[in-house]
């Protein structure tokens, strides 16, 4: 297929492109605005691969989106472009409303106009795959069953509300206009090339630099962790074999409390690079909780695993060790980001 993929220089989008290009099965048209969290370097060898082309454009620009469809005639869309950091959405929700809601609307309208021109096999096979988050489902209490595709929506932050709105738009365009849409929801992702404000790289880098390791509240908030390369493989399976109208919940069954994640990072880093000042757990600093902080997210991926013939290859310990090795071996990349654009004080989730 030729896939028009939005947000391909972001954390998850770049992983999808690396996976697709390595497999050789698809050509990727990468639509990216190249905002603060984007990195062309994250594409690695895919950046200049003949199966990948980068189009610098904003998904809220209707003319640019229509032009991209007309020029590239894609067989499918994978929509990953989004503002994704909860703390940033609390500080400034306008960008989240504009990109996540208006941008999705603009892209849907461009896809709908393009889809109307298709005929025969190309029309039958076209898909619009919208990539979303488990945060649209709200919060779980300890002991509640994990989220699944039937869980009612109950978003609690400007970020999750904007993603919930975009999910509803996608499904409405499917029901009203017959656009063959698919939605997937995922848990917290982690791995190589994640922007340094997200929880795992933030804690890892601060620990390396012997800085305080900020933990919200009592650290008991729980997230379900998925290695980004595993998620990328699942997303490609969805766009290849997914059923229009379906929702796929993608997870790895690896829930951890935030404080457990922080302590695991400290322990692994102490093994690899012992500090002369002692165990890095001494740097843990509890800070005031953020407004509306959801207690727990967790996904039941069983239905998606059966439908796609996919399961996550990495457990949390293996994936975390690989992630730490990657950041240790790519210090020039994150040091430049922290030096130029990022203060290092935000705490984050980990979707994109």
Q: Tell how strand 181-186 and strand 247-250 pair up.
A: parallel
Return the structure tokens found at 142.
């300890």
C-alpha–C-alpha distance, residues 48 and 20, integer Å: 14
Query: Active site residue: 27, 32, 58, 135, which one?
Result: 135
Residue 159 annotated among the catalytic residues of the structure: yes
CB 128 within 8 A of CB 180: yes
C-alpha–C-alpha distance, residues 134 and 185, integer Å: 5
Give 220's contacts (C-beta < 8 A, 6+ positions apart): 257, 258, 259, 295
Query: Active site residue: 114, 115, 159, 248, which one?
Result: 159
CB 237 within 8 A of CB 292: no
Rounded to 5 degrees, φ, ψ at 326 are -65, -45
Identify the three-state secondary structure at position 214: strand
Identify the three-state secondary structure at position 248: strand
Residue 248 annotated among the catalytic residues of the structure: no
C-alpha–C-alpha distance, residues 110 and 232, integer Å: 25
Query: Active site residue: 27, 58, 83, 134, which one?
Result: 134
- HSE value, Cβ hemisphere, 13 Å, CA-based, for 250: 33
CB 2 within 8 A of CB 52: no
* Residues known to be catalytic: 134-135, 159
């Amino acid at each position: 297929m030729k896939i028009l993929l939005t947000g391909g220089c972001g954390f998850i989008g770049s992983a999808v492109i690396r996976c697709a290009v390595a497999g050789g099965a698809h050509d990727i048209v990468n639509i990216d605005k190249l905002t603060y969290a984007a990195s062309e370097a994250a594409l690695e060898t895919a950046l200049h691969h003949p199966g990948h082309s980068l189009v610098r454009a904003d998904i809220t620009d209707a003319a640019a989106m229509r032009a991209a469809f007309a020029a590239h005639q894609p067989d499918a869309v994978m929509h990953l472009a989004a503002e994704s950091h909860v703390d940033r959405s609390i500080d400034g929700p306008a960008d989240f409303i504009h990109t996540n809601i208006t941008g999705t609307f603009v892209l849907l309208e461009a896809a709908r106009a393009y889809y109307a021109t298709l005929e025969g096999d190309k029309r039958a096979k076209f898909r619009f795959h919208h990539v979303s988050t488990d945060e649209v489902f709200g919060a779980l209490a300890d002991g509640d069953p994990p989220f699944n595709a039937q869980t009612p929506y109950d978003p609690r932050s400007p970020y999750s509300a904007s993603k919930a709105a975009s999910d509803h738009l996608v499904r409405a365009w499917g029901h009203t206009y017959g656009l063959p849409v698919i939605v997937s929801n995922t848990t917290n992702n982690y791995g190589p090339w994640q922007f340094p404000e997200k929880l795992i790289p933030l804690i890892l880098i601060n620990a390396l630099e012997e800085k305080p390791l900020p933990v919200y509240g009592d650290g008991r908030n729980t997230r379900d962790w998925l290695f980004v390369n595993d998620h990328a493989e699942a997303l490609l399976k969805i766009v290849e074999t997914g059923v229009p109208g379906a929702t796929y919940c993608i997870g790895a069954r690896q829930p951890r409390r935030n404080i457990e994640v922080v302590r695991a990072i400290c322990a692994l880093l102490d093994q690899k690079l012992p500090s002369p000042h002692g165990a890095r757990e001494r740097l843990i600093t509890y800070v005031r909780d953020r407004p509306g902080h959801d207690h727990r997210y967790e996904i039941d991926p069983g239905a998606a695993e059966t439908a796609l013939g996919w399961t996550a290859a990495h457990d949390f310990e293996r994936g975390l060790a690989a992630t730490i090795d990657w950041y240790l071996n790519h210090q020039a990349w994150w040091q430049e980001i922290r030096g130029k654009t990022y203060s290092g004080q935000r705490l984050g989730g980990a979707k994109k």
